[in-house]
Amino acid sequence: MLKRVLFSCAVLIGTVYLACGGDSGTTDNLKQKPQIVTSRDSIVDTLFVGQGRPQTLTIFNQGKDDLVVSSLQLTASDPGLVTPVTLPDGGHAAPFLLLADGVLDPNATGTLTINNTIKSNKSGNVAMLFTRPAPGIYQAADGGIYQATLTITSNAENAPSKVIPLEDRPLGLPDGGHGP
């Protein structure tokens, strides 16, 4: 159920990007080789302990040739930050999780469709989940900030290995606490 909701959010966000991006259909100004452009160059979220929120990164191909994403990889100084742990209810938890092993097709309807080939002037989505664990479970920098990176490996001419920094920050309360 959670995956369906998160996928629906990813599809909705991708559709909004396409609608607002104004795909004119012309490729006259595009370079021949694939060019990777992402909707964000970093992702930072601020959460209460126990809170989780889906994150979507949209990948655009601004080249004439197909962009082929060969891998998505989450890494962190503490591998536990990106390694899912199975919970008693069957779910998975880690501060940073990929929700699919590939790029989601924003044009798919009702199904989780992975398409690691992004056509010219089109886009695909990377679906992630950020959660805020209780303090002391993982190594964190000062202030309880968890950091990881998402590396997108592709055949893009401009960035064959694009790195997106990720941050999970504690939500501070007026009294100086960090939530429940």
User: Got the DSSP string for 93-107?
Assistant: E-SEEESSSS-B-TT
Confidence of residue 142 (pLDDT cuts 50, 70, 90): low
- Asked whether residue 178 carries a pLDDT value surpassing 60, the answer given is no
Confidence of residue 161 (pLDDT cuts 50, 70, 90): very high
- Asked whether residue 92 carries a pLDDT value surpassing 90, the answer given is no
Q: What is the CATH number of the domain that holds 152?
A: 2.60.40.10
Residues 24-33, mean pLDDT to the nearest whole number: 76
- Domain residue limits at 134: 2-22+32-170
Q: What residues does 161 pair with on adjacent strands?
A: 153
Across the chain, what does the average pLDDT equal? 82
Q: Flag whether 178 is in a domain.
A: no
Domain count of the fold of the chain: 1
- Asked whether residue 8 carries a pLDDT value surpassing 70, the answer given is no
Rounded Cα distance between 28 and 49, Å, is: 49
Q: Flag whether 175 is in a domain.
A: no
- Asked whether residue 7 carries a pLDDT value surpassing 90, the answer given is no
C-alpha pair distances (Å), 90 with each of 2, 81, 83, 84, 87: 12, 19, 15, 11, 5
Q: Flag whether 117 is in a domain.
A: yes
Residues 88-111, mean pLDDT to the nearest whole number: 82
The answer to whether 168 touches 51, Cβ cutoff 8 Å, is no
Q: Flag whether 12 is in a domain.
A: yes
pTM over 0.75: yes
Q: Flag whether 114 is in a domain.
A: yes
Q: What residues does 61 pair with on adjacent strands?
A: 36
Q: Flag whether 176 is in a domain.
A: no
Residues 62-77, mean pLDDT to the nearest whole number: 96
Q: Flag whether 101 is in a domain.
A: yes
Confidence of residue 168 (pLDDT cuts 50, 70, 90): very high
The answer to whether 174 touches 51, Cβ cutoff 8 Å, is no
Q: Flag whether 165 is in a domain.
A: yes
Confidence of residue 102 (pLDDT cuts 50, 70, 90): very high
